[in-house]
């Protein structure tokens, strides 16, 4: 009997040391890092889920995640998309990263920033991004240069074609695609997951829906589904605009279901953390769950977003965290899940959510959460907010106006989440405390950072052909003007007087010979001569008329020799007549030799 007991003890010791499958659950062996599926939607509100009491929308798979995982009821993003994405990728508020806008070149993540994809690669993960990037159009700012092994998606804040999308790139190369774009990105994500083998993976799926344009099913082969979905929501009494948005969210939910089904069928669900969130407040207006305002505002409807997290057997199902948390918290959370060290050479604003996730509850996390949004330059006075666990101090004035202390509003979020009653008269000391903390934070995150478009890389090995966009230009002249039409369709117009010009800062990575061309439109009622120069090299052109000024064509201007280093590209009116010289859509530079 004594010999039998000793043998059992020895076998138990061996089982623990070898980490055998039947070893006790109390074994010291740590579980392997999980796969991570991170689904992000664009402009979907906190209220655009049926689980929020929205009886008209259908989101069964989002609701399923909440029932099987953790629901964060006070989770915050930035008021608009690119700032949120910068925070997700780095764990830092966007102003620290040099990003300050959603276009005009201000939507570029600083080149020295460390992304979550880079950190996860250090931990042995395969990384993929499928959808909207919006953190840099030019190499080396593109996803495949920022830690992602695989990228299929688009660089801009939105695209114009949802069916048969024509602004899609694969690892830096433009491609042609068919299918509805949400289905397309899901297809690519599923193939990425299924081809990853035994390697842990990080699959980031930032859908561009339901961002405008609010369209679904416009292609010949997709219109039937679109019509059915829109009719479903029209029949529930929604206006057409709202029905379109709900139909887009419906399709997102269907594709989330496809992703979850893939995990189940592949036997990956038990070792995959699934994260679902949206990038800023909503744009729909039919049902708002009592929250104030929407996208681009600093009120709760503009910054409170859903966050649902599931990891079966690790995070308790149907649990709820009421602590206020921020989008910057996800970077350290994923690093902790992957068992990779955080960067130590820079300030991080995020705090890991893992303790809250494991507990499935929590009443405190971030002592303060901060918001501000002014498109052209960081501004601490006109559109800003700060909250602690109970109180929120907010100020928002119309664009072009300047705020004073009279515009400040203090809300008790614990008792008034809809921000209906301004309590500042009764609690001035709380307002003063919150304002002082906001100014301290703003000074810290903007210290030493210059907010301007990065010089456009030219001749980078990863992008030999570069299109110079109008939105990055500095314009000079009485008539000349930038016209926003949706990123790739933007123009510079009104070239009328000699000397009127536009300039771009370039960074020539490789000196040599470049092919120069412009893309323009010109009315027969106008015309003239344009001079284009880069450094001491220049050429002139007299663009021919196109069918209308809104029909664009390419005009090759020959070759130009560029030296390595910084340079200024300048386009200038030599002479013009009639309506205008032309409408400039873009300038292209393609390196063709040393």
Q: Are strands 169-170 and 553-562 parallel, antiparallel or unpaired?
A: unpaired
- Whole-angstrom Cα distance, residue 3 to residue 200? 44
Residue 365 is among the residues annotated as catalytic for this protein = no
> Per the structure block, which two tokens stand in for 529?
């001569």
Quick check: 396 and 297 in contact, CB under 8 A? yes
Q: Which of 61, 94, 129, 134 is catalytic?
A: 134
Quick check: 110 and 98 in contact, CB under 8 A? yes
Residue 314 is among the residues annotated as catalytic for this protein = no
Q: Each residue of 357-374: b (16+ CB within 10 Å) or e?
A: beebebeebbeebbbbbe
- Whole-angstrom Cα distance, residue 237 to residue 114? 47
Task: Name 484's Cβ contacts closer than 8 Å, sequence gap at least 6.
Answer: 103, 471, 490
The CA angle 324-115-159, to the nearest 5 degrees, is 85
- Whole-angstrom Cα distance, residue 385 to residue 445? 15
Quick check: 367 and 433 in contact, CB under 8 A? no
Helix (H) or strand (E) segment spanning residue 517: strand 512-521
Judging by beta carbons within 10 Å of its beta carbon (0-12, 13-18, 19+), is residue 502 exposed, middle or buried?
buried
Helices (H), 287-408: 300-303, 330-338, 354-359
Task: Name 143's Cβ contacts closer than 8 Å, sequence gap at least 6.
Answer: 117, 129, 133, 135, 151, 153
Backbone angles phi and psi of 176, in degrees to 5: -100, 140
> Per the structure block, which two tokens stand in for 569?
């590209």
Give the closest residue to 497 by CA, choosing from 582, 570, 576.
Answer: 576
**Residue that is written with structure tokens 């690669």 in the block:** 121
Q: Which of 81, 129, 325, 335 is catalytic?
A: 81
CA dihedral 113, 118, 119, 121 (to 10 degrees): -170
Quick check: 394 and 409 in contact, CB under 8 A? yes
> Per the structure block, which two tokens stand in for 235?
């029949």
- Whole-angstrom Cα distance, residue 573 to residue 425? 57
The CA angle 257-259-265, to the nearest 5 degrees, is 100
Helix (H, G, I), strand (E, B) or coil at 281: coil
Give catalytic residue positions.
81, 134
């Amino acid at each position: 009997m004594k010999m039998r007991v000793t043998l059992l003890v020895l076998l138990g010791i061996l089982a623990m040391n070898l980490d055998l499958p039947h070893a006790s659950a109390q074994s010291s062996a740590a579980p392997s890092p999980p796969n991570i599926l991170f689904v992000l939607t664009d402009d979907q509100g906190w209220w655009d889920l049926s689980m929020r009491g929205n009886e008209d929308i259908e989101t069964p798979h989002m609701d399923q995640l909440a029932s099987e995982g953790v629901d964060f009821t006070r989770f915050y993003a930035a008021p608009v998309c690119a700032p949120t994405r910068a925070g997700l990728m780095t764990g830092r508020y966007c102003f620290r990263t040099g990003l300050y806008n959603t276009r005009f070149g201000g939507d570029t993540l600083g080149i020295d920033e460390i992304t979550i994809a880079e950190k996860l690669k250090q931990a042995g993960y395969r990384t993929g991004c499928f959808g909207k990037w919006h953190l840099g159009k030019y190499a080396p700012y593109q996803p495949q240069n920022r830690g992602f092994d695989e990228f299929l998606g688009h660089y801009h804040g939105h695209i114009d074609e949802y069916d048969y999308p024509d602004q899609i790139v694969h690892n830096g190369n433009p491609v042609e695609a068919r299918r509805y774009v949400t289905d397309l990105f899901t297809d690519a994500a599923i193939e990425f997951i299924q081809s990853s083998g035994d390697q842990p993976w990080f699959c980031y799926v930032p859908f561009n829906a339901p961002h405008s344009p609010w369209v679904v099913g416009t292609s010949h082969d997709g219109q039937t589904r679109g019509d059915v979905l829109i009719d479903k929501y029209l029949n529930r009494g929604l206006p057409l605009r709202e029905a379109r948005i709900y139909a887009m969210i419906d399709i997102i939910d269907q594709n989330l279901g496809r992703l979850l089904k893939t995990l189940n069928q592949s036997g990956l669900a038990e070792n995959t953390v699934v994260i679902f969130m949206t990038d800023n407040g909503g744009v729909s207006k039919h049902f708002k769950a009592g929250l104030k305002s929407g996208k681009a505002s600093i009120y709760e409807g503009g910054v409170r977003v859903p966050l649902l997290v599931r990891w079966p057997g690790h995070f308790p199902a149907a649990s709820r965290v009421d602590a206020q948390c921020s989008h910057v918290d996800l970077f350290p959370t994923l690093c902790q899940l992957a068992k990779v060290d955080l960067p130590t050479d820079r300030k991080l604003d995020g705090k890991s959510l893992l303790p809250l996730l494991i507990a499935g509850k929590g009443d405190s996390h971030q002592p303060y959460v901060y918001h501000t949004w002014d498109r052209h330059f960081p501004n601490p006075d006109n559109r800003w907010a700060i909250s602690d666990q109970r109180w929120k101090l907010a100020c928002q004035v119309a664009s072009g106006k300047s705020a004073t202390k009279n515009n400040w509003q203090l809300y008790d979020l614990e008792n008034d989440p809809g921000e209906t009653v301004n309590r500042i008269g009764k609690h001035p000391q709380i307002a003063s405390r919150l304002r002082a903390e906001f100014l301290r934070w703003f000074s810290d995150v903007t210290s030493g950072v210059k907010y301007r478009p990065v010089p456009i890389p030219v001749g980078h090995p990863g992008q030999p052909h570069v299109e110079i966009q109008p939105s990055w230009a500095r314009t000079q002249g009485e008539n000349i003007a930038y016209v926003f039409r949706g990123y790739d369709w933007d123009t510079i117009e009104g070239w009328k007087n000699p000397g009127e010009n536009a300039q771009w800062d370039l960074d020539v990575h490789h000196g040599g010979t470049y092919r120069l061309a412009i893309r323009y439109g010109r009315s027969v009622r106008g015309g003239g001569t344009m001079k284009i120069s880069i450094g001491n090299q220049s050429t002139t052109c007299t663009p021919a008329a196109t069918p209308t000024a809104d029909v664009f064509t390419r005009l090759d201007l020959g070759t130009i020799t560029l030296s390595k280093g910084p340079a200024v590209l300048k386009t200038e009116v030599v002479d013009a007549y009639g309506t205008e010289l032309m409408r400039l859509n873009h300038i292209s530079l393609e390196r063709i030799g040393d």
